[in-house]
Structure 1
Amino acid sequence: MTTTAGQPSVELAGKVSMPLVGFGTWQLTGRSGYEAVRTALEAGYRLLDTATMYGNEAEVGRAVRDSGVPREDIFITTKLPPDRAGRERETLDASLAALGTDYVDLWLIHWPPSRGAGVATWRAFLAARADGRLRAAGVSNYSTAQLDELIRETGETPAVNQIRWSPALYDGRLVAEHRDRDVVLEGYSAFKNTNLSDPVLTRIAEAHGVTPAQVVLRWHVDHGFVVIPKSGTPERIRSNLDIFGFSLDEGELAEIDGLAG
C-alpha cells in the first residue's frame, strides 16, 4: 500500500497507482449523476468507476472536465459489457468519446463472455493497452479459474478483479488466491450485503467515533482492498471518504472478518 494525494493507493503493474477508495456511479445518470460526480470530486475522490452498461460515461466525463481537477490526477475506470465481445475497439472508442478523454486508467471486462473466460477479448484489451488507450487492464466478476485461464493462455495477468465484496462475503482463501496471482481485489456493493446494525460494527464504530458504514469502508482499506461506495446524497458522499482519521487494529479486523457466514 502506498499513498497518493494524501490517500492510500495500490500500485498496479506498469507502476499505475490506483486509489483504494473510489466513487461508484452505477444508477447515477442524467443531471443528478453529473452533480453526484462533481460532489465526489470536490470531496476529494480521485477514482471514478463507470461502465458502458451504466449509460453515464458522458455525465462522468463532463463532471471531470467541469471540476477543474487535472485529468492526470483522476483515475477513471470503465467496463466492456460481455455482449460486446468481438467489438472491443469500437466499444472503447465510444467510451473514450463519451468520457472526453484519450485514455482510461483501467478497462475491465464487466462479466466473463458466454464462452470461457474471454481469451480473445482479453487479447484485445492487451492490444488497447499497448496502443496507450488504457493504462491498466482487468476484469470483473471473474472466478479464480477464469483468471487462471487468461493468465495461462496469454501470459498476462489482469491487474484487477472487481467483485461483489463486503465483510459478510469475506473469504480468506479467495483473498490469498488473488494475492498469489498479484491481482488486486476491488469490491463493489460494500453495504448491500452488510448489516450495519450488527453489534460488532456498532461497537467498533462507537469506539472510533465513526459510523458503521465508515468502519466497513475502513475494513476494506486496512485489508488493501479497493472499494467504490456509491451514493447520490452529498452528505453520504463526503462521509464515505472521511475514513482516513482512524484505522482498525488486527483484532478489530479479525472480528469483522468473522461476520462472514
Structure 2
Amino acid sequence: MAILVFFLAHWYLSLFTQSFFQHRYAAHRMFSMHRYWEKVFFVLTYLWQGSSYLSPRAYALLHRLHHAYSDTERDPHSPHYSANAFLMMWKTRTVYHDVLYGRSRAAERFAQGDYPEWRGLDEFGNKWYSRVAWGVFYILFYVQFATAWWQYLLLPIHFTMGAVHGAIVNWSGHKYGYQNFDNHDKSRNSLFFDFLTGGELFQNNHHKLPSRANFGVKWWELDPTYPVIWTLDKLRVIRLRKDGAQLLR
C-alpha cells in the first residue's frame, strides 16, 4: 500500500508542477504571481519532480519552439518525425540540453520573452549527483516498504517521471483522438476526462488557444488542473490573465 501511495503521489505531484508551473506559467504566462510564490513553486517543482527535474526556463523555450514549429521537422518532439516514443523523447532530451546550456540558436528567438529563472536551483537540479541522489532515495524507499518483487518494476518510472509524462502527452496528443479545431498541425484531444495527465492531453484545444488556462473547451472536457488554478486565483496566490481565463462563447 505504501508503494502505491508513493508512486501515485510522485506521479501526480510531478505532473502538477510540470503542467501548472513549467507549462502554463513559465511557457505561456497564463497567470502571474509574486516573486515569493514563484520561489515556492520553484522549490516544489524540484522536490516533486526529483530526478527528472527540468529547468522552467529551458522548458519554456523548448515548449515555445514546439508551438512555433508544431508537427514539422523543427518541432523538438513531434511523433511524426520519430519511429517511436523513445526516439522522440531522446530527441527532446538533446534539444532540451542545447537550450539549457545556450547551444540552441533557434531557442534564442524566444529568449526575450518573460519566464521564471533561478540559475542556482536550475544548475543544481540538472547535475548528475542531484539526479543520482533522488534515485537512491527512491530505491531506499522501496527497500523499506516494498512487499513484492514486481513493485520494483515501478522504479524506472520514478527515475524518469517527467520524461514519461512528456512521452505520453507529446506522442498521444499529436497522434490519437479527435479535433475541435483545424490548427494546421496534427494536435489531438486524446481523452474526454484527462485524469492521467492533468488536462495536458487536450492538445488540440491548447494549440488553438495557447493562452487559455482551462484546456477543456466543450462542457464535457474536464481539465483537472484548471480548478486548482481557479482556486489559487481566488486565494490571490496567482492572478489569471483576463484573456487566459475567458471561456469560449
Higher relative contact order (CA closer than 8 Å, sequence separation 6+): 2
Pick the structure with more helix per residue: 2
* TM-score using structure 2 length: 0.31
Report which of the two has the higher share of strand.
1
TM-score normalised by L of structure 1: 0.30
